[in-house]
Amino acid sequence: MAEEVYLVPNMSSDSRVLVFRRDFTPPVKEDTLQVDAYVIITERYIVLCDTLLCPEDMAIVLNEIAPTLTQRQLLVVNSHSDWDHTWGNRYFTEHGKPPIIAQAQCPQGLFSDASRETLTYFQGHYNTFKHVELIPPTLTFEQSLTIYGGDLTLELFSAPGHEPDQIALWIPELRHLLAFDAAEYPIPTLHEATGVPSMIETLERFLALNPARVLCSHGGTNEISVIEQNLAYLHTIELRVQALLTTQAASTEEALLTATLHEYPFEEVLSTLAPLFQDDSSFYREAHAKNVRCMVQWLFQFQAPNEK
């Protein structure tokens, strides 16, 4: 099993924004997970964004940044409740007990049946997760929360779509946007049909900020083009589904899904939006199929009957 937490250089144009990457390759799968966490060093605070996969990951990160913690308070942010962003939370129950900040719906996702089942499965199969406990945030907000760090302002705001509790972080002084899982290379990932309009609205809000750097939790990108590509991708799915809604392919939801995947296969997605993408894992192929299903469900269920 390949596992490592390491500092990734040159992702930010400013030395006060650090990117730590976690690699995880289960021995029974070919797919390798890469997920990023961030440390933002301000005059007043050290703000750690996401806690990766387990408490041991946080021990590595905190050891790396230990010199910066002198005379600064540590704050922890969970960008959303997914396991690869929150399972290191337990570390902080035994080390300093800093505030853990998240969107108000984060605890609901963290303690969902699906989340508990995922933890049970991982702990039954991988030694990496033996010390993980589901630890909720200690401070939540609904729409926005601002951290005034002295030299840097950190604006946390709700950015739903990927998950209902997804947030993003904007640093206006640097024009850095931490999109976390709200944007992703090569394609975004939807978990349910109701997230379709929210994700489109979130991505449009990101573009309106005109960021100089966009940091995403997955995909290793830092360019604004990832937002533009994610939007183009979702709009393309929408247009393909809309066109098929007027044909016999829309007789049932499943028929519409099959027709859309035929009309917009994953190979076309990569060739038009991410021709340099090299990862041959099944994850994004499956994510595309799920994204199409979400769009089909959204348009099929909410399209007026006389428009079908």
Q: Which pLDDT belongs to residue 304? A: 44
Question: Cα–Cα distance between 224 and 177 in angstroms, integer?
Answer: 9
CA atoms within 13 A on the CB side of 238: 14
CA atoms within 13 A on the CB side of 103: 25
Q: Which pLDDT belongs to residue 273? A: 87
Beta strands across the sheet bearing 176-180: 144-148, 153-158, 167-171, 176-180, 213-216
DSSP structural state of residue 104: T
Instruction: Tokens for 5, please give them.
Output: 């937490």
What domains can you pick out in the chain, each with its CATH number?
2-228 (3.60.15.10)
C-beta of residue 130 within 8 angstroms of C-beta of residue 55: no
Q: Which pLDDT belongs to residue 251? A: 82
Q: Tell me the pLDDT tens digit for each residue of 223-281.
A: 999 999 999 999 999 999 999 988 877 788 899 999 999 999 999 999 998 887 877 66
Question: Cα–Cα distance between 23 and 3 in angstroms, integer?
Answer: 5
Instruction: Tokens for 108, please give them.
Output: 């609901």
Q: Tell me the pLDDT tens digit for each residue of 43-88.
A: 999 999 999 999 999 999 999 999 999 889 999 999 999 999 999 9
User: What pTM did the predictor assign?
Assistant: 0.94
